[in-house]
Structure 1
C-alpha cells in the first residue's frame, strides 16, 4: 500500500491542525521567523493546503479576523516553545502534548538526553501524521511515543499504559484545544492533568479570550475552525487554575507579540482583559 493510499483525509475538529501547519509553514519562510518548523509545509501539502492558499473572505472584517487567528497561532507557538525550553532547563524530561495534531516539536526542537515526549490524539490525525513523517524520513530528537485515544475517553489510562510516569514532573501542553471543549470537559481535563502531575510539573495552555466567540463566530463559515469554538477563559484564569493546584501566569497575545519583536500596531477594539496564553507550575 502506498503512502497516498494510507493517507487519511482531514475532517472534523482535527482538520484544523492542517491549517495550523500551513500558518507555521508560512512563518518558517519569513526572514525574521520566530521559529522554524521544517515539517509544517509537508503537513499542509498532504492536507491540500499547500502551495495554494485558502480563499480569504471578501468581507473585510472577516478577513481581519482570519489574519488575527493566524497571527495568534504564530505567537502561541513561540510562547509554548519557550515554556518547554524553560521546563527542560528546570529538569523536566517528560512532555505530554494533548490534542497533538500536526505538532512537530519532537522533530524540530533540541531536547536534553532522556526526554520522552507523548503525543496524545485520536488515531486519524496520528495516522495521517505518520504517513507524512515516513515520506519525509523525519527523525525525532527525543523518545517520541504516540498515544491514540480520544480525550473524551480514559486517556490517562492510555497514557499510563504508554509509559507515562506520574511520580516525576511533566510538562503538559494543550495548544488550541480547550476552545473546542465545553466547560465541563475543560474542568475534567484539568482535573485529570492534575492527578497525573507531580510537584514541579509545568503546563502551557491557550484559552479563548473573553468575547472571542461573539466576535469570531457570528458569521463563521460552517465547518470552519471558529464555527466549532465553544469555550472561553474564565474572568480570573489565575484564580481558576489555583483552584486546580497550579500557580499560573497569564499573558495576552499583544503582550507576547511585543516581547517577541512582532508588535501589534493597531489599537485594541475594546479594553483587553486577561490574556489567552497561560503558563503554570504545579505546587
Structure 2
C-alpha cells in the first residue's frame, strides 16, 4: 500500500495545520514572498486543499479568511526571524509544540549541531512523514519527532527523545494557544519554564483581544475559528514575567509594516497589546 493510500485524512484541530500549509504555499508563489516553503504545497495537496478554490460564503466570511491568512504569513516570518536570532545567540535546541505541517527543519539554514524536536500527536506526524518520504525531503538539522498529546506528560516524552533541559532551548508555540483553555495554557507555560535553561528563547502567537467575538462567535462548525477558546491576557508581558520570561509583544500591524506588507485599513478598535511574542529566559 502506498503512502497516499495509507494517509489518514485531516480532521479536527490538526486539520487546520494543512490549511496553514496551503496559506504558506500561496505565499511561496509570490514574487515578493516573505519566506519560501517548498514543502507546503505537498502538504496541502495530500490533505485535499491543493488545488482548491475558497469555500463559498458571504463577503464578511471572505474578509475573515483573508485576515486569518494574512496573520499566518506575518507570524511565520516573525517566528523564522526569532529562530534565526536564537541560533545567532548560541541556541542549538529547538522545540516546536503542536508542530503540525511545520517544515522549518527542512527550509531554514541551521547552524551545525542544531537539534530540532517536533511535538505533536501521532496521526499528524505520521501523515506528515508520509509526505516527506514521498518528496524525498532531507532535513537541514537533526530532526526528532515526539508523538505525544500536549495534554499528557509531554516533558517526559521530550526528555526521552533526547532533549537536554540544562542547555538553552528555542520554543515555538505557533497557532496553538488559541485552541487551549486558559488552565491548559498556564500548565503549558509552567512546563516550558521547567525545561528552560537560562538563555532559552520562546516565540508565541496569541489570539488578540476580541478575536473570539469577531471570528469564533459565528464560525462554521468544524472550521478553525469554531475551535478557538482563548485570547491573550490584558498584559501579556506582565503575564509572561510571572512565568519567568522577559517578553516583548508586537502587534500584527507593526510587524506587517516592518516586513513591507502594511495593513492599510484603520484598526476596528484601539490597538491593544500585541499577539506576537518573543521572550528570553534570564
Q: Does TM, scored on the shorter chain, surpass 0.5?
A: yes
Give the whole-Å Cα distance in 2 for the aligned partners of 1:179 and 1:251: 17
Cα distance, 1:56 vs structure 2: 4.3
Take 1:9 and 1:142, find their aligned partners in 2: how far apart are those partners? 28
TM-score calculated relative to the size of structure 2:
0.99
Q: How does 1:31-110 map to 2 (within 5 A)?
A: 31-57=31-57, 59-110=58-109
The CA deviation at 1:151 is 0.1
What RMSD in Å do the two structures reach over aligned CA positions? 0.6
What residue is the counterpart of 1:232 in the other structure? Answer: 231
Deviations 1:19-44 (CA, angstroms, capped at 9, x unpaired):
00000000000000000000000000
Which residue in the other structure is 2:6 paired with?
6
For each residue in 1:194-238, what CA deviation from the matched residue of structure 2 results, as whole angstroms up to 9, or x when unmatched? 000000000000000000000001210000000000000000000
Shift of 1:5: 2.1
- Which residue pairs with 1:151 in the alignment? 150
Unpaired runs of 5+ in structure 1?
none
The corresponding residue for 2:114 is 115
Could you say what secondary structure the match of 1:35 adopts? coil
Runs of 5+ unmatched residues, structure 2: none
1: CA distance, partners of 2:60 / 2:5: 40
Residue 6 of structure 1 and its aligned partner are, at CA, apart by: 1.7
1:126 counterpart residue number: 125
Q: Give the corresponding residue for 1:137.
A: 136
The separation in 2 between residues aligned to 1:231 and 1:56, in whole angstroms, is: 27
Moved over 6 A (4+): none
Aligned residues between the structures:
282
TM-score by length of 1: 0.99
